[in-house]
Structure 1
Amino acid sequence: MSTSGEAVLRAVEAPLFWLGALTAAWLSVCSACRLLSVLRVWALGNGRLVSPSKLGKWAVVTGATDGIGKAYAEELARRGFAIVLISRSQEKLDEVSNSIASQCGVETKTIAVDFSATDIYPKIEDGLAGLEIGVLVNNVGVSYSYPEFFLNVPNLDSFIDTTVNVNIISVCQMTRLVLPRMLDRKKGAILNISSASGMYPVPLLTIYSASKAFVDFFSRSLLAEYKSKGIIIQSVLPFFVATKLSKVRRATLDKPTPERYVAAELSTVGLQSQTNGYLPHAIMGWVTTALLPARLLNSYVMGMGLSQRARYLKKQKQG
């Protein structure tokens, strides 16, 4: 090597060394912070943040008679909240209300409405009048009967209206009714139940996936507007939970019962503004969004949807 080349090498050697050292230190600090954050959320949790003394007396849960919604109502009642149950069937509402009142000894209130309609919100507003609402769980939702191409969805016109009204309009309108009172008291939590299907496009569940993506973006935008006002707003994006809506009958580690999922999810409130709510789901969310290329993920999801569609149609033909 020539003398001039050696001189150039010596000149850049020290800067390159320090650049490498600073990069390694930065990556180490970031990794340590991420690890501490993971431990904070999934090992320690938020203690008893979600409690009437810290947020307010009443919790309002939509879609409260089945699955995740029922599990939220029961868990919040166990934590001492009085519960407003909102769902379509008065018979089911009475059953869940009586069960919660007898087991947890808290006040309950029911409002029977069909969220596929848009003229229901004055009735809900009247039912919530005068209540100190600390938690709102926007859980009500509808999905597909089976994966299907957009134009082949049965009763497409009415299905579009129903999905938008239940999955999107309900979140906006319930937030409109409850948020002002939380702002007056400078405390409260709104948990919007989105879906892992809202994290990336899910073909053959197109309308559902898009509606849940709306819920996620709505939640994150709303948080930016009102975080400084003392309001917790969280986007909850579960993968499969063993419910009627998901058609998962048997709970497993990655497909928990609603009760197990909700208990885990509530420990993330105040710690994560966007959460998968359950450690195995958080790992799945990280793998699918951070590790898998979008094209590969889209191809896999499409293939899974086609397989489920084929099984459903074959079963219908045989039946």
Structure 2
Amino acid sequence: MDFLELILTLLGAAVLVYYGGKLVLFSRMLFPQWCFPLSKTFFTSMGEWAVVTGASEGIGRAYAFALAERGMDVVIMSRTKATLEEVAKEIGATTGQRVKVIVADFSEEEAFREIEEEMKHLNVGVLVNNVGVLPSFIPCKFLESEGLDKTITKLINCNVKTLCKMCKIILPGMENRRKGVIINVASGIASFPFPLYTLYAASKIFVERFSQGLQAEYKGRGILIQAVAPFGVSTRMAGFQQTNTVTLLPEEFVQKSLQYLRAGDKIHGSLCHTLLAWLLQSIPLKILHAEFVLQGLQNYVKKKTGQKESVSDL
């Protein structure tokens, strides 16, 4: 009996220490300015230029503005030239920083040769890998995706291949200078196996693991690499949902997420999204994967929008 009591006591102590540690870590999220301070010159000390993919709208556009506001010149990329040029004018007029526009279709191999050529003389201190594609806004089962072969190729090229290629282009310069920041935008829905968005969620898990592996490899070289996994952000990809406590404007989310740049190799970007991640991870998968839950999700999205085409931030 004494032995059983000892085991139970040790088990209770272990649980207390585990959750006590989680509470301490969470408490740091409440005070990012004190727990993860960044100097006013932090970003400009990394290098002269910031590069943002998928910068024509949404989160990418917000990152481009935020980094320009912090004194960096910015390179913005997407496949929509007219929109990019408009964003470039706004950034230049608002911040006074230089803006370089590179039109790129990330599904094409040739795009990366052109990007490398365009940037070979730039001192890049920050890279934001934001470009991505959502196969279909309306959630559906894998085999029900329209044009599945093309969808698979497009998603892997945009969400996976582009991430690797951009790091291959930018990382050598950072390693040589022994400083730099790489922010890779993942997704909160990759927090657990997410049916009906299976392909998209799986690609964002790659973003997380790739980022965490790179950080382990290059942190000793003075390079900070972080995956940012947001939940609700009011963008075209999310159907421009109405903002609330959980669903943030892109500008609001980016400003918050940059405060947690030193908080670890993976963050959710804001306090409310961190809480949501912990809540979802505490719910048994049997409940989250229940047919009535999935059907409810599908009906909810259909009610919110009639969109059925793929949605990308290129």
Query: Which range, TM-score by smaller chain?
Result: 0.7 to 0.9
Match in the other structure for 2:39:
48
Higher RCO, Cα 8 Å, sep 6+: 2
- 200, 204, 210: which is aligned to 1:218? 210
Q: Is the 8 A contact 2:138 2:302 kept in 1?
A: no
Match in the other structure for 1:3:
none
Match in the other structure for 2:166:
174
Alignment partner of 1:198 is 2:187: no
The letter of the residue matching 1:207 is: L
More deviation in 189-198 or 199-208?
199-208
The letter of the residue matching 1:38 is: M
The letter of the residue matching 1:100 is: I
C-alpha distance 301-218 of structure 1, shift in aligned 2 (>3 A): farther
How far apart in 2 are the matches of 1:219 and 1:106? 29
How many residues are paired up?
A: 306
Say which one has the larger Rg.
1
Match in the other structure for 2:126:
135
**Structural mapping, 1:280-295, within 5 Å:** 280-289=272-281, 291-295=282-286
Give a deviation string over 1:80-130, Cα, whole Å, max 9, x none: 010000111111111111111111011110100111222210100011111
Give a deviation string over 1:188-215, Cα, whole Å, max 9, x none: 0110001012221211112111111111
**Structure 1 residue 45: deviation in Å?**
4.0
More deviation in 146-155 or 261-270?
146-155
**Structural mapping, 1:272-283, within 5 Å:** 272-283=264-275
Match in the other structure for 2:297:
305
More deviation in 221-230 or 296-305?
296-305
How far apart in 1 are the matches of 2:13 and 2:200? 45
Match in the other structure for 1:4:
none
**Structure 1 residue 247: deviation in Å?**
0.5
Local SS of the residue matching 1:115? coil
Alignment partner of 1:125 is 2:116: yes
C-alpha distance 151-105 of structure 1, shift in aligned 2 (>3 A): same
How far apart in 2 are the matches of 1:178 and 1:202? 32
How far apart in 2 are the matches of 1:239 and 1:304? 18
Q: Is the 8 A contact 1:146 1:308 kept in 2?
A: no
Match in the other structure for 2:96:
105
Match in the other structure for 1:233:
225
Match in the other structure for 1:243:
235
Q: Is the 8 A contact 2:72 2:97 kept in 1?
A: yes
TM-score (norm 1): 0.86
**Structure 1 residue 306: deviation in Å?**
3.0
Alignment partner of 1:116 is 2:99: no
C-alpha distance 76-18 of structure 1, shift in aligned 2 (>3 A): same
Local SS of the residue matching 1:219? helix
> What percentage of aligned pairs have identical amino acids?
33
Match in the other structure for 2:244:
252
Local SS of the residue matching 1:80? coil
The letter of the residue matching 1:285 is: A
How far apart in 1 are the matches of 2:207 and 2:69? 27
C-alpha distance 35-258 of structure 1, shift in aligned 2 (>3 A): closer
The letter of the residue matching 2:82 is: E
C-alpha distance 258-22 of structure 1, shift in aligned 2 (>3 A): closer
Runs of 5+ consecutive residues of structure 1 not aligned to the other structure: 1-7
Output the aligned Cα RMSD.
2.8
TM-score (norm 2): 0.88
The letter of the residue matching 1:130 is: H
How far apart in 1 are the matches of 2:279 and 2:257? 19
Local SS of the residue matching 1:136? strand
C-alpha distance 314-52 of structure 1, shift in aligned 2 (>3 A): closer
